[in-house]
Structures are given as C-alpha cells and as structure tokens.
Structure 1
C-alpha cells in the first residue's frame, strides 16, 4: 500500500517522501543568480508574480531575470511581519563559473525603486560578503514548506540572525525543510531544527557534508549525485574543493570524473544511473500522481 493510500489524516508530501525513502541527492534546481525582494506581509501562492506592483516595473524585472536565468524570491526575516519604518531590501546574488560570489543590495519603498534590480543584474556586485541562508517557508505554495520550514527558520535565525531569511518556493516541496545557501548555490533538504543548525554551521566552516545535500546549483542532477558520493566517501569539503571535469552519457547511465583541488588532489570516477519511480503524489496541493527521476550512484573509485 502506498503512503498516500495508507494515510488517514491530512496528506503531507514531505511525510510521504520520507516514508518512501526518496533520496535528496541530485535534486537541486540549476541556476546561479537569485533576486531577493523583501516583502513582509503575506505571500501570494505564486510569489513575486502575485504582488500588486506596477505592471511596467514587474515586466522589467521579469525580463531582466529571464535574460540571466535568475530566480526571483520573496524574503522576510523570521517572525517579523512589521517594521519600525526601515525600507525593505532587495538583492541580487550571483555565483560565477569561476567560483566567485557577488552580491548587490538595495532598498525600496515604491514600485519604481525595484527597477534598480534590473540594473543590478548588469553590475558586478560586491565580493567577499557572507552568504545568505534562505529557508523556504512558503505555506501558501505548499503546507509542508510552512510546517517544516518555519521551525528551521526559527532555529537558524536564533543562531545567525543577520544571515537568515525566510523565502518563497525554491523547488522540491517534498524535501522540506529546504535550505538554499546563496550565492554559494548549495541546496539542502529533509532538514529539521537540529540538523539545519548542524548543516549550516558546517557549511559556513567550509565543510559541506553529503547528508541532506540536494546538490550544487551549477551542476546537473547526475553530476550533483556524483559530487555527493565523493563527499560521502572522502569526507566533508568546501564548496570549491571538488570540480566535475568530465561527463559522458550512455542512455540512462553517466560516467563522471570529479577532481579535487589542492590540497584535495584526488580523482574519482563515478558511475550514475537514472530511473523513474512509480507515480506518486509529489506535492501537498497537487492531487495528480507523477513519476520522479532518481539518480543513483552505482560505483565510485579513485582514479
């Protein structure tokens, strides 16, 4: 009997995913640019698109975002629905192919102020700023994001109040609680209050663990799975300590070479296969059943 059929109460997609044992590795959405728009009130189910903004401003931001494949997220501090009068923030976070991280921040009080976001996407931004920790808590999009995300946002905010924001949908409702560290471009999933503090603390110390790692956003799913397998075998490492140097595909199988950068000068050859699961209900709000693609590491060896 499926978890959906066995359930007698409300359906929660993250509970069903845990019961099925859905792996989180290889599930991070691809991308390297994020636009953050602070909105302290309630969030529409469709996030930024649902805000009551001037159409010309919204169109300008969307077109600029689409040109660089940026993801637009609404953000707010945990537990702070009102403000003492300080203007809300916007930000452009960028992860470059070189591994450089850049951020540009501003504030807005009127719709017209958000037009600066489009200009910021063409600007280099500031390097060496601390990363931003984003916790999906978008309950209007999926209940699991609120039920599991908000306790994580609270725990992380208590530990790192200046780094942590709640955010709208980041993808993968069934992996809630989801945390995105940007512009590092690292997704974590299946977190709770305790494990989130451990994972983020290790991340900030330059030690990314395979456990709870969904993947690096500059890699494609089989490559994400391969890097996670290397971290599980060789131990935690920094964001730039390993690079995918070769990828070849034969049908549903990949051969991926992962190379360590100094001082981790090691080579690993990883074999990954993909397969589709039986149809399941994958989100709380979507009743339709869908198959998911799983990326399974079948072998890993030092080259």
Structure 2
C-alpha cells in the first residue's frame, strides 16, 4: 500500500499532534555496518550479505538488546565491491557510553565485529534515517536533513536504514548516548548536533534515549521539562517500578525527582507508516504526578 502525499504518515502525525516522547527505538547496544546499498525494505536481511553472517549478527542483537543498522556516507555511493567497509559498535548504556570501530572485507570479518577489539572512535556520530523502501517519509524528509548536517559535520554524519517511528520523520540518532530526535527541519540539525557536542540535549525534538524503555523515556521528558536539566548526563535513572496494571513510578537522581505516569491507549484511526494501513489505537503516557 503506497501513501499519497496527503496520506503520508509524518503529515498525519503532525496534524494529530501526536507526542514524540517515548518512541525512541529500544537498544542498549548498536552495530552500524557500512553498506552502500541498495537497501531492501528489510535492510539487513535483503542487503545481499552472507545469510550466515546476518544470522550471527541477529543472534548478537537479541542477546545484548542491540540494534543493527546499515549506514552509508551522505551523497557517496561506492560499489559494493569497494572494500574494506567500516563497522561501528556502540555501547549506549548510561555510564558506559563508547564507540569502537574497525573494518571488514568479508563475512567472517563482519561477524567478528560484535566482539572485535577495534579501536575507540573519539567523536559522536549522527545517524539520519533515509530508508525510502521502508517508508516514503524517511526518504522525502531524511535526505535533505542528512545533506544539510553533512555539509557542516561530514565525518560524523551517516545516512542509515530504518530506525522506527517513521511517522516522526525525519529521525536522527546521536551516538553514543542513543538520543533519538524526530520532526527536525534541516535548519535545526546543525545547531542541535553542536549542542550535543557541547554536552547539552535539545529537548524540543527529543523522542527519548534508546537505552531506556518507553515509560522511562516519557518520565525523562517530563523531568527535563520540570527541572530545566539539559546536560546529556543529567537525570540518572535510579529505579523504575510498575505500581499497577497501567501505572509507573520512575525515580531519577542529579537532580533528584520522582515521576508518576499512567499508560493507556487513545484512538488513532490513521496509518503509522506509509506502507501500512490505519491502526485503531496508539499508546500514550499521562503524567500523574511530579515531585522535585
């Protein structure tokens, strides 16, 4: 099913005013695999890579709560025969943030990327989803954002395959922290990335941090809004408790605060991706209480 411009998922989400918070893709670890394309709808499986290597990478991701993403340089399309390619392995867990990198020329070297020592990559990375075969909005909105960001930060910026939450296109992930943003305009991207380099999180477009579950992502949003905390390491998660079938209690330190939420569903009646039909409801979290 192909969406017309008036039916595109990102336009529908904007019209509905759907909240972004709590929608970052879940991942405590990331593996970025350089691949010039083409990317099928299911990028890794339809990438033309060795099926055995794909299976081993998938097992690693399932074991460590990881996410595998294909990446490529903006506006550069080398041949698949141009080797070696680069991999990045990212630890996005709070307090463990690190990027390591290496190169691979064949399937055996690629499978070793999940445990190879590699070398420390000292600079943050920005991934922009441009995966048009998965969702039209990501291609239409993502490519201009990636081009604009790469003009200022060419070594840090990569186009990437599907991130999730296509209706919030264009989507961008900043690593190693896994901060995920949506609904950005190209003019916003460079300033947002520079603030991240300076240790500041821009909360205006923040969907959440990938290493946190959705309830914590939403609680983090409310805590940042209420306290004014903007540092990348502010609001350290200390405890998450499910206090009923639908209620959550999330405790942060630095600064100390407690957020109580209620999880629920609201009617949608619209598509959440350009390639699928409408869904009946979407998940939301209501703020019940905040204590600072």
Give the structure-1-normalised TM-score: 0.87
Match of residue 139, structure 2, among 141, 146, 152: 146
Alpha-carbon distance in 2 for matches of 1:254, 1:57: 39
TM-aligned CA deviation for residue 122 of structure 1: 2.4
Q: CA deviation at 1:159?
A: 1.3
Quick one: structure 1 residues 82 and 124, their matched pair in 2 at CA, closer, same or farther if it must change by over 3 Å? closer
| Alignment map for 1:45-56 (pairs within 5 Å) | 45-56=41-52
Equivalenced residue count is: 287
Displacement of 1:123 in angstroms is: 4.0
Q: Does the C-alpha gap of structure 1 residues 27 and 9 become closer, same or farther in structure 2, counting only changes over 3 Å?
A: closer
2:85 & 2:186 partners in 1: Cα distance? 27
In structure 2, C-alpha distance between the alignment counterparts of 1:235 and 1:105, rounded to whole Å: 38
Alignment pair present for 1:185 and 2:182: no
Partner of 1:102: 99
Deviation at 1:197, TM superposition (A): 2.1
- For residue 72 of structure 2, the aligned residue among 73, 76, 80 is 76
Equivalent residue in structure 2 for 1:171, among 164, 185, 188: 164
Would the aligned equivalents of 2:100 and 2:118 in 1 still touch at CA under 8 Å? Answer: yes
Asked if 1:284 corresponds to 2:274, the answer is: yes
Structure 2 vs 1, CA of residues 38 and 8 (structure 1 numbering), >3 Å: closer, same or farther?
closer
Task: Name the counterpart of 2:152.
Answer: 159
Change (3 A) 1:242 1:123: farther
Pair 1:26-2:26 in alignment: no
**Structure 1 residue 275: Cα displacement:** 1.6
- Structure 2 distance, partners of 1:157, 1:225, is 30
Q: Contact between 1:209 and 1:236, CA under 8 Å: does it hold in 2?
A: no
For the 8 Å contact 1:27–1:172, the answer to whether it is kept is yes
Q: Secondary structure at the match of 2:159?
A: strand
In the alignment, which residue of structure 2 is the partner of 1:263?
none
Give the CA deviation at 1:129: 1.4
Q: CA deviation at 1:82?
A: 3.1
**Residues 25, 295 of structure 1: 8 Å contact kept:** no
Change in Cα spacing, 1:217 to 1:54, as seen in structure 2 (3 Å) is closer
Alpha-carbon distance, 1:208 to partner: 0.5
RMSD over aligned Cα atoms = 2.2
Calculate the TM-score normalised by the size of structure 2.
Answer: 0.90
Q: Mark the CA change 1:116 to 1:183 in structure 2 (over 3 Å): closer, same or farther.
A: farther
SS in 2 for 1:81: coil
Q: Tell me, what secondary structure is at the counterpart of 1:148? A: helix
**Do 1:282 and 1:290's aligned partners in 2 also have CA atoms closer than 8 Å?**
no
Q: CA deviation at 1:236?
A: 4.5
In structure 2, how many angstroms separate the alpha carbons of the residues matched to 1:97 and 1:124? 21
Q: Does 1:91 align with 2:85?
A: no
Q: Per-residue displacement from partner, 1:177-207 (whole Å, max 9, x unpaired)?
A: 1001122111111111012222222112111
Equivalent pair of 1:156/1:197 in contact (CA under 8 Å): yes
